[in-house]
């Protein structure tokens, strides 16, 4: 039965991603994942060092992408930074919407996780860019509202075309930030 070298590995990751997003990391047991992936619990631990290793492998890509975006944003200023931050963040959030759900669901513990150690710095850079490098409460609160609003909206099951969703998220975020735009 164990034919393709590592099809099971991918299947475990897919199942874990779905279950973590739906029930949270702590709310999902290795048994749950094994049932979903149609293998034994011991098989999970043959492919992965432990439950935590599965999470790490799932969250590494979005963490690296967010970190890279943070560094790029740090080089921009003013209006350029705001627009790049909004479009970049919305794109990332949509691409990794299940991972976003996992991270936001257990934020405090996740931030203590090694693989997500880069997040505070990246989020600071993102927030600073969204705030247009301004430090007034208005800009800081608005930036935080965008970060949360986009994440929650993407994680929720709003029925809308991805393209429409993306467009409206960007417009909505720019409105929140009070950023002037050619459109309404």
Partner DNA sequence: GTCAGCTCTGACCGATCGGTCAGCTACGGT
Partner DNA sequence: ACCGTAGCTGACCGATCGGTCAGAGCTGAC
**Contacting positions for DNA (CB under 7 A):** 1-3, 5-9, 28-32, 39-43, 45-47, 50-52
Minimum distance from residue 2 beta carbon to DNA (Å): 3
Minimum distance from residue 38 beta carbon to DNA (Å): 7
Minimum distance from residue 117 beta carbon to DNA (Å): 19
Among 104, 113, 118, 121, binds a copy of itself (CB under 8 A): 104
Query: In this structure, are residues 169 and 90 in contact, taking their beta carbons and an 8 Å threshold?
Result: yes
- Residues 80, 84, 85, 86: is their CA dihedral positive or negative? positive
From the list DNA, a copy of itself, none, pick the one residue 148 interacts with, judged by a Cβ distance below 5 to 8 Å according to partner type.
Answer: a copy of itself
Provide the mask over 110-149, with x wherever binding to a copy of itself is found by CB under 8 A and - wherever it is not: ---------------------------xx-xxx-xxxxxx
**What does each C-alpha distance from 150 to 54, 71, 100, 176 come to in angstroms?**
26, 20, 10, 11
From the list a copy of itself, DNA, none, pick the one residue 151 interacts with, judged by a Cβ distance below 5 to 8 Å according to partner type.
Answer: a copy of itself
**What does each C-alpha distance from 45 to 9, 49, 59, 131 come to in angstroms?**
11, 6, 18, 44
Query: In this structure, are residues 103 and 61 in contact, taking their beta carbons and an 8 Å threshold?
Result: no
The helix-helix angle for 137-155 and 119-130 (nearest 10°) equals 120
From the list a copy of itself, DNA, none, pick the one residue 2 interacts with, judged by a Cβ distance below 5 to 8 Å according to partner type.
Answer: DNA
From the list DNA, a copy of itself, none, pick the one residue 184 interacts with, judged by a Cβ distance below 5 to 8 Å according to partner type.
Answer: a copy of itself
- Choose between 182 and 184: whose C-beta lies nearer to a copy of itself: 184
Which among 101, 93, 94, 147 is positioned nearest to 120, based on CA atoms? 147
Burial class (CB within 10 angstroms; exposed 0-12, middle 13-18, buried 19+) of 50 = exposed
Minimum distance from residue 42 beta carbon to DNA (Å): 3
- Choose between 8 and 100: whose C-beta lies nearer to a copy of itself: 100
Q: Name the residue with tokens 């969250």.
A: 59
Minimum distance from residue 111 beta carbon to DNA (Å): 19
């Amino acid at each position: 039965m164990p034919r393709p070298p590592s099809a099971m590995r991918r299947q475990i990751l897919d199942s874990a991603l779905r279950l973590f997003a739906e029930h949270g990391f702590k709310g999902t047991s290795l048994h749950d994942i094994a049932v979903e992936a149609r293998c034994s619990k011991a098989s999970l631990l043959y492919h992965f060092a432990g439950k935590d290793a599965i999470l790490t492998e799932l969250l590494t890509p979005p963490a690296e992408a967010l970190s890279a975006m943070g560094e790029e944003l740090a080089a921009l200023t003013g209006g350029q930074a705001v627009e790049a931050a909004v479009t970049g963040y919305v794109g990332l959030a949509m691409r990794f919407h299940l991972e976003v759900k996992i991270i936001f669901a257990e934020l405090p513990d996740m931030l203590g996780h090694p693989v997500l150690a880069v997040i505070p710095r990246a989020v600071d850079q993102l927030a600073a860019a969204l705030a247009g490098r301004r430090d007034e409460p208005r800009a800081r609160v608005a930036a935080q509202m965008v970060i949360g609003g986009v994440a929650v909206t993407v994680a929720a099951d709003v029925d809308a075309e991805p393209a429409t969703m993306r467009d409206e998220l960007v417009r909505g975020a720019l409105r929140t930030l009070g950023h002037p735009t050619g459109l309404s």
